[in-house]
Copies of this chain bind each other. A is one copy, B any other.
Amino acid sequence: MSKIIKKSLLAPKSFPKLPNILGVNLYAMHAGIRKKNKLDTMLILISNSVNVACVVTNSKTPSAPVMWCKKIRNIGKARALLVNSGNANAHTGKEGIETVKNTVNAISKLFNFSKKEIYVCSTGVIGEKLDSKIITDAILKLDIKKNNSWKEIAESICTTDTFAKGAVSYFQYGGKKYKIIGIAKGSGMIYPNMGTMLSFIFTDFPLEKRLLTDLFKQSIEVSFNSITVDGDTSTSDTCILFSVPKKNNVKLVSNKNDKSVQKFTKALDKVSINLAKQIVADGEGAKKIISIKIKSAKTYKDAKTIALSIANSPLVKTAVAGEDPNWGRIIMAIGKSPVNIKQDLLSIKICGEKITKNGSLVKNYNEKVVATKMKSKEISIVVDLGIGNMEAAVWTCDLTHDYISINADYRS
């Protein structure tokens, strides 16, 4: 079987219209890491040194670019972002670190930027050497005056993704209109252990760097850290949020209680949740999106732990693929999580239909009704624990034959 590259059934109809952000310049290239003329590298240059928040994978085997980002992120300033696809530059030893150094040095020299303001990400195959020269050569050939589109930028970072992912939201405050624009990539090796996969978000809202990081972490918790495709965590996950004010000398918002912050947070969550759900919609082999909500838990953490236990269960995911209301598997997945619950208070709904109540099946349960509703592309699972007042939501996709084909068969 050849590698499946057809567009996910769950893809949005088209890439959204994303406006420019003043001072953010986009360049997409074919450096030659990937075959044919596929875009495989992107560079974003920012006119001024701006505040940045960067959150990376918790992996104990991080890639060389992740190690670099961890080193510079405390400074919290950015002028450039370089990303390549097709090679993760992970588990490449000292040579991998050299590659990052060489590209950073080249960009620093060429544009006269401080090295510590140049962010680098790589995504793709683990363990292969990445040649810095083909990337720096491609950058040297760039016509800096010609900007690429957000769509091309989003395409250049795709690997097994079947569609490019972008999102935008707007908000108004104090008579001014602000925007938040994000792109993301991800399809496999998706499990939230930070902000999963790659996502880069830009806003023209002016935020002080510490608050920027705090707000970004909060948003990641309910978006990129609330999705899973396969329970596997990439070595390369990186999320970066850039605050690029329209004017250079604008007053930065630094107080989390400032009235504008709530508006910003809401708009940011909208973009990050939108991108996170697009990643799930492009989950390898996905035919259905599953949203899982745990209600009436003692703590948010408890709710989320149980939600992820259900979301990561291959038996739940295959039941959804088979449009099978096999709710016993949900009971199993709740039970295998480390959270203490009261089995007698549990109730479960699938696609809005109540199935269990007080620890066993409801009396008038009609399996056929639920099975019919499960033919939908979006499946909701709601579990009420009945022991508190906290809740959490996560998203995943079903586990299908195409997942096996994509990950086992394609070399044969």
> Which residues of A pack against B, CB within 8 Å?
57-62, 88, 90-93, 95-96, 125-127, 188-189, 191, 193, 230-235, 312-315, 318-319, 321-324, 327-329, 331-341, 343-344, 346, 356, 358-361, 398-401, 403-405, 407-412
A232 touches B91 (CB 8 A): no
B341 touches A60 (CB 8 A): yes
Contact of A231 among B95, B312, B407 (CB under 8 A): B312
Identify the closest chain B residue to A412 (Cβ): B322
A90 touches B404 (CB 8 A): no
B335 touches A59 (CB 8 A): yes
A232-B332, A399-B408, A411-B322 known; A91 vs B59 contact (CB < 8 Å)? no
Q: Which residues of B contact A332 (CB under 8 A)?
A: 59, 61, 126, 189, 232-235
Instruction: Report the minimal beta-carbon distance from A49 to chain B, rounded to whole angstroms.
Output: 32
In the assembled complex, the Cα of A360 lies from the Cα of B63 at a distance in Å of 11
Instruction: Report the minimal beta-carbon distance from A373 to chain B, rounded to whole angstroms.
Output: 15
B233 touches A331 (CB 8 A): no
In the assembled complex, the Cα of A344 lies from the Cα of B59 at a distance in Å of 14
In the assembled complex, the Cα of A332 lies from the Cα of B62 at a distance in Å of 9
Number of copies: 2
Q: Which residues of B contact A90 (CB under 8 A)?
A: 328, 331
A314-B230, A322-B409, A331-B235 known; A91 vs B360 contact (CB < 8 Å)? yes
* A interface SS class: loop
A92-B360, A332-B232 known; A327 vs B127 contact (CB < 8 Å)? yes
In the assembled complex, the Cα of A62 lies from the Cα of B331 at a distance in Å of 9
- List 23 A–B pairs whose Cβ atoms lie within 8 Å, in order of A's numbering: A57-B335, A59-B335, A60-B338, A60-B343, A61-B335, A62-B343, A90-B328, A91-B356, A91-B359, A93-B359, A95-B360, A126-B327, A126-B329, A188-B315, A193-B336, A232-B315, A232-B332, A233-B332, A233-B335, A318-B408, A321-B404, A399-B404, A403-B404
A331 touches B127 (CB 8 A): yes
B400 touches A404 (CB 8 A): yes
Q: Which residues of B contact A88 (CB under 8 A)?
A: 328
In the assembled complex, the Cα of A384 lies from the Cα of B273 at a distance in Å of 39
In the assembled complex, the Cα of A315 lies from the Cα of B336 at a distance in Å of 22
A127 touches B360 (CB 8 A): yes
Contact of A313 among B231, B319, B341 (CB under 8 A): B231
In the assembled complex, the Cα of A58 lies from the Cα of B334 at a distance in Å of 12
Contact of A401 among B95, B232, B404 (CB under 8 A): B404
A125 touches B328 (CB 8 A): yes
In the assembled complex, the Cα of A262 lies from the Cα of B376 at a distance in Å of 58
A335 touches B60 (CB 8 A): yes
Instruction: Report the minimal beta-carbon distance from A240 to chain B, rounded to whole angstroms.
Output: 20
Q: Which residues of B contact A405 (CB under 8 A)?
A: 401
Identify the closest chain B residue to A59 (Cβ): B335
Identify the closest chain B residue to A285 (Cβ): B404
Instruction: Report the minimal beta-carbon distance from A153 to chain B, rounded to whole angstroms.
Output: 25
Q: Which residues of B contact A331 (CB under 8 A)?
A: 61, 90-91, 126-127, 235
In the assembled complex, the Cα of A193 lies from the Cα of B309 at a distance in Å of 14
In the assembled complex, the Cα of A337 lies from the Cα of B334 at a distance in Å of 21
B408 touches A321 (CB 8 A): yes
Instruction: Report the minimal beta-carbon distance from A384 to chain B, rounded to whole angstroms.
Output: 14
Q: Which residues of B contact A359 (CB under 8 A)?
A: 91, 93
Query: Which 3 residue pairs across A and B have the least CB separation, nearest first?
Result: A126-B328, A61-B335, A322-B408
